[in-house]
Every structure is written in structure tokens, then in C-alpha cells.
Structure 1
Amino acid sequence: MKLNKTLSLAVVAGAMMVYSCGGSGSKTETTTSTPAPAPAKEMTPEEKHKDNPDFVNGLALVKQSDCPSCHMVDRKIVGPSYGDVSEKYEITDENVERLASHVINGNVGVWGEIPMPAHPALSKEDAELMVKYVLLLKK
């Protein structure tokens, strides 16, 4: 009888241990996880500068000009892309003035041997707005 009592206690203790440790595995657990936040969408230059008059007016002047025949925003055609120009030059008064002069007077050698034609009919103010638009495309 002492053996039966000891055996019974051992069985009960084992059952309690199995139950408290998760039992036979038939019990399912539900876990909830918080989804990772979506990566922040990078704003395009148009979205970023939509209220900047230099950007808006410069873009309008560029679209009206012959600039798109040699330049694109993200791809080199004849001349460098606007994106490449914006990465090379900081937006400073000195750079805006220098690049506007290149647009008006023409230039060669900065981006290779193909010359940038002169645009003498373009006013200094318009050329500077166009250059500011290009430089604001910096990523």
C-alpha cells in the first residue's frame, strides 16, 4: 500500500508537471505581433519644393526653353543630367551666378568636350531661376 501511495503521488506530480509545462502540445497559443512600420516614403523634389517660387518658376522656364533637348533630370543625353549638376554644386549665390553665366554665355570643358551653347537672349534673372531649380533637385 505504501508503494501504491508513492506511485500515485509520483503520477499526480508528473501529471501536474506536464500540465504546468504545456501539457501534450495540443494546446495552441495565439500571439499577436505589431507589424513593422512602413518605411517613410521619400519625397520627390517636386513634392518637397512645391511651394518654393524659385523651384516652380525655374521649372516653368526650363520647360519653355530648349534645355530638355540636351538635359534630363535623371539621365545624361548630350549634357549632364540635372541630378548630376545638383550633386556637383551646392546652392550658393556664387554657384548660381557662375552657372547662370555658363547658361547665358555657353561653356565647354566642365562636363566633357561637347560645348554648351550660349543663350544670349536669356536674362540673368531667368537663367538664375533655372539654375536654382536644377540645384534644388539635389537628393
Structure 2
Amino acid sequence: MKKLVLTALVASLAIVSCSKKENVEAEALQQESNKMIEEPTEAAKPAAALSPEDEGKSLVEGTDCLSCHKIDSKLVGPSYQDVAAKYTEADIDHLATKIIEGGKGVWGDIPMTPHAGLSQDNAKLMVKYILAQKK
């Protein structure tokens, strides 16, 4: 009988201590969310506008492109300098579509994986960066 009472007492203490912790955490979150944020005293300075090539570079670096391409030498796919030597500004739309849809056969039998989640505008920025690598 003592074991049953002792077990019930320990279980109820565990329940009470856990529920208090949740309440303490909830109160802390509520107090944190009620804090006033100071208004900026000066007008925020606009960020310097990036060139299309710089935007394209950051997009290339943020995707898986560099796992298959390098700037100056062939890896799995052609180097960016080789692509830039083969294409011109007139091919931006075509190359942007190739980045989005993928392709095979232009540079060999290894296919380029599609990047379907990429917008046409971002793909064009990436192409502008790649074409800027012309020697």
C-alpha cells in the first residue's frame, strides 16, 4: 500500500513540475513578445544596388551549380569561361531556359539537371554572370 501511495505521489509531483515549466516558458515568451521595439532614429540607408552580374554570382553560389561547373576549368560540365566563349548576350533567354529545364548533348552526354524552382529572371541573372566570365 505504501508503494502505491508513494508511486502516486511521485507521479503527481512529476506532472505538477512539468506543467509549471510549460507555464513559465509561456509567460517568458509572452513577456518577450510584449517588449516595445525602438523606432529607428535615422532613416535606414538603402543597401547598395548590386550589378546584374553580382546578383547572378550570388545566385550561382547559392545553388548547386558549383558542384558541376568551375569558372576556368571543366569539372563535370563546361567551365563558365567556355560557355561564355560559345554564347553571346543574344542567347540569354535560351541559356536561362536551359538552366531551368536542364539539357543534354551540347557539351557531351552527361545531362545538366533541371532547376525547376528557379525563376526565369533569376536564371537570366545567372547567365549574365556566366557570360561576364569571357576571357
Equivalent residue in structure 2 for 1:69, among 67, 72, 78: 67
Residue of structure 2 in register with 1:120 after alignment: 116
**Percent identity between the two aligned chains:** 48
Asked if 2 retains the 8 angstrom alpha-carbon contact of 1:91 and 1:136, the reply is no
Distance apart, 1:52 and its partner CA:
6.7
Question: Number of residue pairs matched?
Answer: 87
State the 4+ residue runs in structure 1 displaced beyond 4 angstroms. Answer: none
Describe how 1:91-130 pairs up with structure 2 within 5 A.
91-92=89-90, 95-130=91-126
TM-score between both structures, scaled by the size of structure 1: 0.60
Residue of structure 1 in register with 2:132 after alignment: 136
Asked if 2 retains the 8 angstrom alpha-carbon contact of 1:104 and 1:127, the reply is yes
Query: Which amino acid in 2 is paired with 1:86?
Result: A
Quote the Cα distance in structure 1 between the aligned partners of 2:113 and 2:85: 22
Quote the Cα distance in structure 1 between the aligned partners of 2:50 and 2:62: 19
SS of equivalent to 1:74: coil
| Runs of 5+ unmatched residues, structure 1 | 1-50
Query: Which amino acid in 1 is paired with 2:131?
Result: L
Query: Which amino acid in 1 is paired with 2:97?
Result: S
TM-score between both structures, scaled by the size of structure 2: 0.62
Rg larger in structure: 1
Distance apart, 1:103 and its partner CA:
0.4
> What's the RMSD between the two structures over aligned residues?
1.3
